[in-house]
Amino acid sequence: MTEEVISVSEDFYVLSTSSRVDDRVRVLKHGDTFAVFDRFGDIERFGNGRLGVYHQDTRFLSRFTLRVGKHRPLLLSSSIKDDNAILAVDLMNPDFLIADKVVIPHGTVHIFRSKVLWEAILHERIRIHNYGMLPVGLDLVIEFDANFADIFEVRGVDRERRGRRLATEVTPDTVILGYEGLDECIRRTRIVFDPPASRLTESEAHFQVALKSGEEANYYCAIACESDGDSVGTHHAPVGDARSRTALSYDEAAKRAVDELKRARDEETEFFTSNQQFNDWLNRSSADLHMIRTKTASGLYPYAGVPWFSTAFGRDGIITALECLWFNPVLARGVLSYLAAKQAQTENAEQDAEPGKILHETRQGEMAALGEVPFGLYYGSIDATPLFVMLAGAYYERTGDHVFVRSIWPNVTRALTWIDRYGDRDGDGFVEYSRRSHHGLVHQGWKDSHDAIFHADGQPAEGPLALCEVQGYVYAAKLAAAGLARGLGDETSAQELVSQAQKLRQRFNETFWCDDLSTFALALDGNKQPCRV
């Protein structure tokens, strides 16, 4: 053997001879549940660490792999259907050898996997077809596990302590994996096989497949995410109904998922052009929007994105609603209703919350419940509050929905009070932010990385910071609120808000403008010095 002549000291160096790990993924989502698979439809332990089935910010399935004997099938194709409802994967068998002799040539057996998420349950159908001239016998093996990791653990946050795994329950057709968190919430993954496996253990299901030439067989699996914290109104039925929900057939679940998306699209304006490629782009955009839309007790809300941000974010939801307002104002109403219901009522430094402030982010996982991360209800956003008022004004202008606007007017006035009292703590006329939470965001505008705001020499800007665009949002919010007040018959408040907006505009132009740059400064730092970048 040739002696190694290159010495590598890096701990995480990957040799060129290492097995290649495919990092392309396939994503499904419904409600508060989403799933991330590799292109084979598997959830592997290695490789891309985000693979899994997640429900309410916890990974309920961390391993789910399909093998034929000890071999992974060969991939033919893998795609998410155009409506984002179903994952379809085409596979075939590799060469099966006995004593170096091929007994089943590759491509003899076709394996078609299709998956759909519906009401916190992943339904899968595995269809196996023998295209060979002779009968075949195969051992189909599914390996599974659930580590119940919090989504922040998956993202790399270390924990000193975790809860405990519960004893796994195994019946002829069902495996129940359980975990009791430090938050005293019991989470379970219920895996049901139909037909029952020939051998079922705590981590594997074996099926003996015997097919004559031209025959096919179907195998079904339903994986339910269950939690003591689930309740009616959290996008699926309560835990007590879990067994009946897993009994729902794959075909029925797929039909319901497709029908739900079709109904949603039927309620919107339809766009089409003479250019098919442009139409495909429109359809893809529409399907993606429908995937992130989530039913809440307050109405529809567009979640920020899968996988790490599949939850309600204030800024993201508002901007999405603004962009969709002209063709789907119902989404804006849902966003306004949800954020009004979550509006901060009291001061809480660890949540960066003050009365009237609009939500930045919410989480439902174990770490959020325990306060290990502040994001159960987190308000560390300097722009969500004025953006909320802007959306309320735009919604009223678009719809004339007087009844709804009157119902959220108290929330609008509380938001305006927050802007004046808490947003401008030093009384200089500009809205600034400074983190109060020990674990919250350092920067709280749309650029929220830890080094987002700096001076021209590269030095980080020290707060409190007044961002350029936030002053524009406040200006627009005051004018929007004036329009709402006028629509509700309060002309005095409307005139006062317009006057405040005009004064802010004048102060902003005088303070933020940089003649030598011919533009406005990025921000003002805590010493009122402009960030001239």
* Cα–Cα distance measured from residue 400 to residue 483, given in angstroms and rounded to the nearest whole number: 11
Domain match, 254 and 275 both: no
* Cα–Cα distance measured from residue 265 to residue 289, given in angstroms and rounded to the nearest whole number: 10
User: 121 in a domain, yes or no?
Assistant: yes
Domain match, 175 and 306 both: no
* Cα–Cα distance measured from residue 428 to residue 424, given in angstroms and rounded to the nearest whole number: 7
User: 83 in a domain, yes or no?
Assistant: yes
* Cα–Cα distance measured from residue 256 to residue 291, given in angstroms and rounded to the nearest whole number: 14
Is residue 269 scored above 90 in pLDDT? no
Tell me which of 525 and 13 has the higher pLDDT. 525
Crossing angle of helices 468-487/384-399, nearest 10°? Answer: 40
pLDDT at 245: 58
445 CB-near residues (< 8 Å, 6+ apart): 381, 382, 383, 433, 452, 453, 467, 469, 470
Half-sphere exposure of 54 (CA within 13 A, CB side): 32
Q: Among 154-163, 175-184, 308-317, name the one with the lowest average pLDDT.
A: 154-163
pLDDT at 11: 41
Domain match, 316 and 179 both: no
* Residue 293: strand pairing partners: 302
pLDDT at 228: 87
Element (H, E) at 153: helix 151-154
Crossing angle of helices 250-266/276-292, nearest 10°? Answer: 110
The alpha-helical segments, DSSP class H, found in 208-311 are 242-246, 250-266, 276-292
Residue 354 exposed, middle or buried by CB count within 10 Å (0-12, 13-18, 19+): buried
Q: Which range marks the domain in which residue 89 is found?
A: 25-258
Domain match, 521 and 380 both: yes
Domain match, 209 and 331 both: no
Q: What is the mean pLDDT of residues 315-329?
A: 97
pLDDT at 244: 55
Tell me which of 85 and 268 has the higher pLDDT. 85
Contacts 24+ apart (CB under 8 A), 498-502: 501/475
pLDDT at 3: 41
* Cα–Cα distance measured from residue 371 to residue 351, given in angstroms and rounded to the nearest whole number: 10
Share of the chain above pLDDT 90, in %: 82
Q: Which of 439, 417, 419, 443 is nearest to 525 (CA)?
A: 443
Half-sphere exposure of 383 (CA within 13 A, CB side): 22
Domain match, 365 and 251 both: no
Q: What ranges make up the beta strands (E) of 171-228?
A: 174-180, 186-194, 199-200, 204-211, 216-227
Contact 58, 366 (CB under 8 A): yes
Residue 380 exposed, middle or buried by CB count within 10 Å (0-12, 13-18, 19+): buried
Share of the chain above pLDDT 70, in %: 90
Is residue 2 scored above 70 in pLDDT? no
User: 357 in a domain, yes or no?
Assistant: yes
Is residue 464 scored above 80 in pLDDT? yes
* Domain limit, last residue, from 218, 237, 258: 258
* Cα–Cα distance measured from residue 157 to residue 142, given in angstroms and rounded to the nearest whole number: 30
User: 189 in a domain, yes or no?
Assistant: yes
17-43 confidence digits (pLDDT tens): 334 455 789 999 999 999 999 999 999
* Cα–Cα distance measured from residue 50 to residue 57, given in angstroms and rounded to the nearest whole number: 12
Contacts 24+ apart (CB under 8 A), 368-376: 368/57, 368/150, 369/181, 369/183, 369/185, 370/182, 370/183, 372/152, 372/157, 372/159, 373/152, 373/157, 373/439, 374/350, 374/437, 374/439, 374/440, 376/351
Query: 326: domain CATH number?
Result: 1.50.10.10
Q: Among 133-137, 185-189, 314-318, 337-341, name the one with the lowest average pLDDT.
A: 133-137
Q: What is the mean pLDDT of residues 203-220?
A: 97
Going by pLDDT thresholds of 50, 70 and 90, the confidence category of residue 104 is: confident
Distances in Å between the Cα of 405 and the Cα atoms of 299, 354, 414 are: 15, 23, 14
Q: What is the mean pLDDT of residues 269-280?
A: 92
Is residue 48 scored above 70 in pLDDT? no
Going by pLDDT thresholds of 50, 70 and 90, the confidence category of residue 101 is: low
Domain match, 224 and 360 both: no
Domain match, 392 and 282 both: yes
Residue 285 exposed, middle or buried by CB count within 10 Å (0-12, 13-18, 19+): exposed
Domain match, 183 and 81 both: yes
* Domain limit, last residue, from 214, 236, 258: 258
User: 441 in a domain, yes or no?
Assistant: yes
DSSP conformation letters of 400-413: --HHHHHHHHHHHH
Q: Note the pTM of the prediction, 2 decimals.
A: 0.89
Q: What is the dihedral of CA 389, 393, 394, 396, to 10 degrees?
A: 140
- The encoded tokens of residue 525 equal 């730092």
Domain match, 306 and 252 both: no
Contact 254, 92 (CB under 8 A): no
* Residue 218: strand pairing partners: 127
User: 5 in a domain, yes or no?
Assistant: no
288-314 confidence digits (pLDDT tens): 999 999 999 999 999 999 888 999 999
pLDDT at 186: 98
pLDDT at 475: 99
Could you give the number of structural domains in the chain?
Answer: 2
Domain match, 303 and 345 both: yes
Tell me which of 187 and 14 has the higher pLDDT. 187
pLDDT at 49: 82
415-427 confidence digits (pLDDT tens): 999 999 999 999 9
Is residue 47 scored above 70 in pLDDT? no
User: 165 in a domain, yes or no?
Assistant: yes
Q: What is the mean pLDDT of residues 334-351?
A: 98
Is residue 46 scored above 80 in pLDDT? no
Mean pLDDT, the chain, as a whole number? 91
pLDDT at 233: 36
386-409 confidence digits (pLDDT tens): 999 999 999 999 999 999 999 999
Going by pLDDT thresholds of 50, 70 and 90, the confidence category of residue 476 is: very high
Query: 110: domain CATH number?
Result: 2.70.98.40
Contact 200, 226 (CB under 8 A): no
Q: Which of 399, 393, 411 is nearest to 482 (CA)?
A: 393
Q: How many residues in total does the chain contain?
A: 533
Q: Among 60-69, 92-101, 137-146, 399-408, name the one with the lowest average pLDDT.
A: 92-101
Domain match, 250 and 363 both: no
* Domain limit, last residue, from 192, 225, 258: 258
User: 392 in a domain, yes or no?
Assistant: yes
Residue identified by tokens 């160096």 is: 13
Strands 377-378 and 63-68: unpaired
